Amino acid sequence: MTFEEIKLKLVSTFGDAVILKEEATGLQAALFVHVEDLVPVCSFLRDTEGLYFDFLSNITAVDYEDHFTIVYHLSSLPYQHTVVLKVELEGNRSLDELPEIPSVTSIWRTADWHEREAFDLMGIYFSGHPDLRRILLPDDWEGYPLRKDYQEAEKYHGININ
């Protein structure tokens, strides 16, 4: 199934407003969806005959300073097609109130680790995640090291980091 056919299936089910924009340049074309449409769109992509996106290969977060983009790489193993979904989140840079997006762990179990990594390194809060906690850094680490405004600590528990 082509990118255009996948897009048409989404539009015919959810309406024109489901696709905010599309990105046709680069290695893989991508569809941008509203944050509130993410879970229904993902469920549709997984459960619909002919689509059956049964494999979530990656979730990543990108910091563009004024907003964050969460990227989902989906594949259908039986049908051998792929699609990339992107969701833009307004760039709340406060460490006390993280940007929030719904978890897709109820759709793809593998999202558990991908979402934890994006939380740990970028500070994206995945609401509804069953066990959202740090995965690479210590629990008491301050900040999110992949953010562009991250200030690297000089010491951790009295030990020089540099």
Give yes or no for a contact between 57 and 122, defined as CB atoms under 8 angstroms apart: no
Q: Mean of the pLDDT values across residues 114-138? A: 96
Query: pTM of the entire structure?
Result: 0.93
What mean pLDDT value characterizes the chain? 94
DSSP state of 136: S
Kindly report, residue by residue over 46-60, the tens digit of the pLDDT. Answer: 999 999 999 999 999
CA dist 7 and 75 (Å) reads: 15
- Residue 69 CB neighbour total at 10 angstroms: 15
pLDDT at res. 153: 79
Inter-axis angle of helices 38-47 and 3-14, nearest 10:
120
pLDDT at res. 96: 84
Nearest partner of 104 among 51, 48, 41, 11, judged by Cα:
41
Give yes or no for residue 99 having a pLDDT over 90. Answer: yes
CA dist 36 and 38 (Å) reads: 6
Give yes or no for a contact between 146 and 61, defined as CB atoms under 8 angstroms apart: yes
pLDDT at res. 157: 83
Give yes or no for a contact between 124 and 97, defined as CB atoms under 8 angstroms apart: no
Cα 79 → chain centroid? 23
CA dist 108 and 42 (Å) reads: 9
What is the secondary structure of 80-109 as a DSSP string?
Answer: TEEEEEEEEEE----SSS--EEE--TTT-T
Give yes or no for residue 162 having a pLDDT over 80. Answer: no
Token pair, residue 49, equals: 């005959």
- CATH architecture label of 3-137: 2-Layer Sandwich (3.30)
